[in-house]
Amino acid sequence: MGWFEPGIVKGKPQDFFAGEILKDGKKICSIYGNYMGFMDFDGVRYWDLREPKLMTVHDGHGYKKLPSDSRL
């Protein structure tokens, strides 16, 4: 379970957000980012539009791809 709220980051534009991932009601991870730029989990950047190397696409070894899969 988790939550995030856009526009909650003080001094930043409305497209910034912050939130948490919860397990059994306890916080296990903080989320921070910007819809148009990046996303951090506990201060580690997992997605950044400016750095394509962070955006890997898994090829789905062992899984049958749907005909509508954009990788086909």
Residue 42 lies in a domain: yes
Range of the domain at 46: 2-54
Domain count, the chain: 1
Q: Whole-structure pTM over 0.85, yes or no?
A: no
Within a domain: 35: yes
Question: Does any domain span residue 67?
Answer: no
Of 10 and 66, the one with more pLDDT: 10
Q: How far apart, in whole angstroms, are the C-alpha atoms of residue 38 and residue 69?
A: 24
DSSP characters over 5-66: EET-STTS-TTEEEEEEEETTEEEEEEEEETTTEEEETTEEEEETT-GGG------TTSPPP
Q: Residue 9 falls within a domain, yes or no?
A: yes
User: What pLDDT, in 10s, does the model give residues 16-67?
Assistant: 899 999 999 999 999 999 988 899 999 998 888 887 665 555 555 556 666 7
Whether 72 maps to a domain, the answer reads: no
Token pair 């296990």 is at which residue?
28
Q: Is residue 68 part of a domain?
A: no
In a domain, 17, yes or no: yes
